[in-house]
Amino acid sequence: MTDNPGRIDVHHHLIPPAFVKTMESKGLREVAGAELPSWTPEASIQNMDAHGIATAILSLSAPGVNFDGRAQARELARACNEFAADTAERYPGRFGSFAVLPTSFVEDACNESAYALDVLHADGVVLLGSTDGHFLGAPMFDDLMAELDRRSAVVFVHPNLHRTSAELGLATPGFLVEFLCDTTRAATNLIFSGTLERYPHIRWILAHAGGFLPYIAWRLSLANGIPKLAANAPKGVMHYIRQFYFDTALSPSPYAMAALRELVSPEKILFGSDYPFAPSSVTGLETQSLDRLTILDEQTKSGIDRAHALNLFPRFAKAD
């Protein structure tokens, strides 16, 4: 590990009791083909200590909180967010949180974001790339975008399994490939819907190194020559792509990191583990792979571990 006070993990999941109870009531045992793992804050801390992670910013993974309509989504989001806040309070300095929102119900999502950010002091919010078939950037989310923009909120974009992916009939579990499609589609729609142009104060973090976005960035920039698309990206497509932050979760290879190195400034790359869906052994592989990269200099690797995240979450600098 590089000589830092400890990594900051921006992609680290909690699995609150209320979420487990809801999943069990639906007979659901998997998330995009991955078995729902058992989890406790103590298990997270054990994993963090083993791999040089000082602080983890907790977030709920897919499928979010929309199971049984408006009231249930609102209540489950509140229960998960209060559990995250209580966890952070019980283990000072070890945890932050991205609040989950009942995104399909935009008025409630706006209200929950205000409560989570103002009362629970969440570090941002987590939004799925798609919710009930609607990708981020859809007009239905505009009021929520306006609220988050007004607050200069940090938004962590985590993939979901879109129904079109679920219906493909492929043998591979959804988390291997289709999750990356969801993130890529969401990021692309945020650009070409004009969302990034209209709401420039939101700070966006894309999970898993942005899916396929870095690989297809040049191809997407050809839209600068398509008037209908270019109208919503007046500064040029690459400008908007370079506004995103990218986490390293399950993507610490030299291939993915080389693409990010060429695409964005170093401070846009943040450490992520995807624990506990990626178990502790995988966290070890991730940290070892990042440490051994020769395509990144030591200053950049050190920044990925910690310093870049402090640009978004300066409160964690107290440990330095």
* Domain boundary assignment for the chain: 7-313
Alpha-helical (H) ranges within 119-235 are: 142-150, 163-166, 178-192, 195-198, 213-221, 227-230
Instruction: Say whether pLDDT at 209 is over 60.
Output: yes
pLDDT for residue 1: 41
* H or E segment and range at residue 279: none
Average pLDDT over residues 198-206: 98
The CA distance from 266 to 285, in Å, is 22
pLDDT band per the 50, 70, 90 thresholds, residue 106: very high
Q: For 57-87, what is each residue's pLDDT tens digit?
A: 999 999 999 998 999 999 999 999 999 999 9
pLDDT for residue 318: 75
pLDDT band per the 50, 70, 90 thresholds, residue 319: low
> CB–CB of 134/145 below 8 Å?
no
55, β-bridge pairs: 8
Q: For 40-52, what is each residue's pLDDT tens digit?
A: 999 999 999 999 9
Instruction: Say whether pLDDT at 2 is over 80.
Output: no
% of the chain surpassing 70 pLDDT:
98
pLDDT band per the 50, 70, 90 thresholds, residue 3: low
- Of 3.20.20.140, 3.30.70.580, 3.30.420.40, 1.10.10.10, the CATH number of 7-313 is 3.20.20.140
pLDDT for residue 5: 87
Average pLDDT over residues 229-234: 98
The CA distance from 99 to 122, in Å, is 6
- Cβ contacts of residue 149 below 8 Å, gap of 6+? 198, 199, 200, 201, 202
Our CA dihedral for 239, 242, 244, 247, rounded to 10 degrees, sits at: 170
> CB–CB of 237/191 below 8 Å?
yes
Instruction: Say whether pLDDT at 320 is over 90.
Output: no
DSSP reduced 3-state for 169? coil
Closest C-alpha to 269, from 296, 304, 300: 304
* H or E segment and range at residue 206: strand 203-206
Average pLDDT, the chain: 96
Instruction: Say whether pLDDT at 122 is over 60.
Output: yes
